Chains A and B, each alone.
Chain A
């Protein structure tokens, strides 16, 4: 990174926004450490921690053994003892290895010990399809976290949000799970460090609309924006809402938008059943049922494991064409 001291970037990658967030936070707070598989020498499997070893040394940027439960567990212990770790799980699928430490330990420490202590740490990981990673390297498991009280959950889509949400996560006193998307790292956007940035629990209305609300987060936001452009040409005005954080969840923005548009499509790469979209759909139904003109559509990945073959993988998740098609039907 050559522009460490710049405050405004016309064009920065999602990856560099994250690196910059960790860099700036580590400069401010010497108790922030980074730990995870290949985060130091290698710079992170997706390059999000590249060069941080050189800048901060091996006491603060720590390569760990391939021991996902203990990576999370040790980060919890460090967070309870004065440090503020950023632990990285290379793939969100490795929640399967670490879920005891995430859900039974990290999420419950403040509560079960009666508020005596918290574990202020960030667990960074990435998920999603797009690289033919197969059933164990491509999932979207955010509902596991959303289903676990005690954790903050952030899934930014844009570099500016990625930067500011990570910076916030490293200042607040709650454990935060930060799920990135493997196909977002190379996407670009602006970054304004002077911006107050996205606070937790505040959705972003990326595009105002009056006919239908498309509610989404993470990579699917970019699909929603493209679909909205196409729909506009067909005289359908879609409001695109980027949730940015799933806990806290900005219920008010969702409800206000659907009360206005009276139609909604919830878009996500997660599963259809018992998922984040299921939850958002319930919220819409419970709060907007009087005005709804059509049933709320949950457009998600299929309820199957993730296939590898590129043609299958592409159709396993939502496509822009189908988002357009379903939205038109909802508006019909």
Chain B
């Protein structure tokens, strides 16, 4: 039996990493909107395994470090990078930016810049699916920082109480900005917290993306049968918190040691070792991805900027008048 799953997962992880590298390049070229760009390099396993295990109609919310999850769920790199560049062709017309990319047609219910802020959204989405009798699961992705937010536990309790098709997925990259997890958490066994709410739990702490996929799928399938779940994926944030952060709070030796725990090289080695793909095949995949992401960057750079009237759009429904600009308000007073 030929293994097509591992190459698929490898490709997803590689696309995420290459995408994030282009985000970084966009910044270097001075083309990004701001510097609040949170890269998920090193964390690709979680988005790839959970994102792939979800079904087409499933929905999700993400945190501020959510580019990778959306790439795994079918996000178009062109429109994503255009959003990060603050351009008209971006998913949110350049008004959301890196931390608020979303595409409702792909089930992305929003990236959130408030730690834990998007978690209850999936509870409400799941209430809808249950009430409307739609077979869908909603997954909240968040970091280890959100494990310390009360809203997570309110949401877990509701999911458990109302038997909702929800999965809480924690991508534990060991750092809340500059604070190491050991300095933020009393008890690190997150699964125990989730277990106490009666959730199915899964803790992934290795680099085998294929096995992580199968295990995640079980949790998601079970959520579809109204048994909510919790997944923790341990990984390491290879670079700083945001693009400008050079991580002065941690040793270079720690970084170089931990960067060896690379899910992408691990998957590549496994494919070669098990004769699934050879080096040339992998090179070809990598090269195609590079071309795809280069084109996306070009698209973002060439995308037009918005007219300034865009400021006033999308605050209220299209049936309502646009908010009056300050210029108009002030001139009206002065001309009175």
Write the chain B residue with the least CB distance to A80: B109
Please, what's the 1-or-0 string for B141-162, where 1 marks a CB less than 8 Å from any CB in chain A? 0000000001100110110010
- Residue numbers of A with Cβ under 8 A of B are 31, 33, 59, 64-65, 67, 69-70, 72-83, 85, 100-101, 104-105, 109-118, 149-150, 152, 172-174, 248, 286-287, 290
The reply to whether B154 and A69 contact each other, CB–CB distance below 8 Å, is yes
- The answer for the CA separation of A118 and B314 in the assembled complex, in Å, is 9
Q: A74-B124, A74-B127, A112-B92 are in contact. Are A173 and B158 (CB under 8 A)?
A: no
Given A69-B150, A111-B315, 10 new contacts (CB under 8 A) = A67-B154, A80-B104, A83-B128, A85-B124, A100-B151, A110-B314, A112-B95, A112-B100, A150-B316, A152-B316
B104 touches A117 (CB 8 A): yes
* Identity of the chain B residue whose Cβ is nearest the Cβ of A66 in the assembled complex: B154
Residues B127 and A78 in contact, CB atoms below 8 Å apart:
yes
With contacts A69-B151, A110-B315, A116-B104 taken as known, whether A80 is within 8 angstroms of B157 at the C-beta atoms is: no
Residue from the list A64, A109, A112, A114 in contact with B158, Cβ < 8 A: A64
A65 touches B158 (CB 8 A): yes
A73 to B142, CA, bound (A): 15
A101: contacting residue among B120, B138, B315, CB under 8 A: B120
Assess whether B120 is in contact with A70, with CB atoms less than 8 Å apart.
yes
Q: Tell me, in angstroms, the Cα distance from A144 to B94 when the chains sit together.
A: 27
**A-B CB contact pairs (8 Å), 16 listed:** A67-B154, A69-B120, A70-B120, A73-B120, A76-B121, A77-B122, A77-B123, A77-B126, A77-B128, A81-B59, A81-B129, A114-B94, A116-B92, A173-B317, A174-B317, A174-B320
The 3 A-B pairs of least Cβ separation, nearest first, read A77-B124, A73-B120, A114-B92
Inter-chain CA distance A290–B335, complex, in Å, is: 12
Q: Given the known A-B contacts A65-B157, A69-B154, A114-B314, are A77 and B131 also in contact in the complex, defined by CB atoms under 8 Å?
A: no
CB distance from A39 to the nearest CB of B (A): 15
A81 and B114 in contact, given A33-B131, A173-B317, A174-B317 (Cβ under 8 angstroms): no
Please, which residue of chain B has its CB at the minimum distance from the CB of A78? B124
Tell whether B23 is near chain A: CB-to-CB under 8 Å. Answer: no
For chain B, residues 304 to 336, give those with C-beta under 8 angstroms from any C-beta of chain A.
313-320, 323, 333, 336
B85 within 8 A of A: no
The contact of A67 among B124, B157, B314, by CB within 8 Å, is B157
Instruction: Point out the residue from A78, A101, A287 that lies within 8 Å of B333, measured CB to CB.
Output: A287
Q: Given A104-B117, A113-B96, A173-B317, check contact A78 B128 (CB 8 Å).
A: yes
- The residues of B that contact A149 with a CB separation of less than 8 Å are 315, 323
User: Could you tell me the distance in whole angstroms from the C-beta of B303 to the nearest C-beta in chain A?
Assistant: 13
Q: Within 8 Å CB of A116, what residues of B? A: 91-92, 102-104
Contact (A114, B316) CB under 8 Å given A65-B154, A70-B120, A78-B127: no
Is B93 an interface position by the 8 A CB rule?
Answer: yes
CB pair A105–B121 under 8 Å, yes or no, is yes
**How near does chain A come to B99, taking the closest CB pair, in angstroms?**
9
| Residue pair A70, B90 in contact (C-beta under 8 Å) | no
Place the interface of chain B in its size category: 35 or more
**Across the interface, do A73 and B123 meet the contact criterion of CB distance under 8 Å?**
yes
Assuming A74-B123, A174-B317, is B157 touching A114 (CB within 8 A)? no
Known A81-B124, A114-B91, A287-B336; contact A105-B157, beta-carbon cutoff 8 A: no
Give the Cβ gap from A6 to chain B, nearest Cβ, in Å.
Answer: 30
Q: Is the CB of A100 within 8 A of B117?
A: yes
User: Is the beta-carbon distance between A70 and B317 smaller than 8 angstroms?
Assistant: no
- State the Cβ distance, A119 to closest chain B Cβ, in Å: 9
B156 to chain A, nearest CB (A): 9
Known: A81-B128, A290-B336. A73 touches B119 (CB 8 A): yes
CB pair B154 A113 closer than 8 Å = no
Q: Which residue of B lies closest to A64 (CB)?
A: B158
- Specify the chain A residue showing the minimal Cβ separation from B113: A104
Q: Which A residues are in CB contact (< 8 Å) with B129?
A: 81
Q: Tell me the nearest residue of chain A to B128, going by C-beta.
A: A81
Cα distance, A65 to B158, chains bound together (Å): 7
Q: Mark B101-119, 1 if CB is under 8 A from A, else 0.
A: 0111000011010100111
B217 to chain A: closest CB distance in Å?
23
B residues 215-269 touching A (CB-CB < 8 Å): none
B125, CB-defined interface residue at 8 Å: yes
Q: Which residues of A contact B128 (CB under 8 A)?
A: 77-78, 81-83
A76-B124, A79-B124 known; A115+B158 contact, CB < 8 A: no
B-chain residues with CB within 8 Å of residue A287 when the two chains form the complex: 333, 336
The listed residue with most B CB atoms (<10 A of its CB), out of A70, A173, A287, is A70
How long is the Cα–Cα vector from A113 to B92 in the complex, in angstroms? 5
- B132 contacts partner chain A, Cβ-Cβ < 8 Å: yes
Residue of A nearest to B100 (CB): A112
- Residues of chain A with a CB closer than 8 A to B320's CB: 174, 248
Which residues of chain A have C-beta atoms less than 8 A from B103's C-beta? 116
- The answer to whether residues A111 and B336 also contact, given A73-B121, A73-B123 and a CB cut-off of 8 A, is no
| CB-defined contacts of A64 to chain B, threshold 8 Å | 158
Q: A65-B161, A117-B104 are in contact. Are A74 and B315 (CB under 8 A)?
A: no
Residue of B nearest to A286 (CB): B333
CA distance A152 to B126 in the complex (A): 26
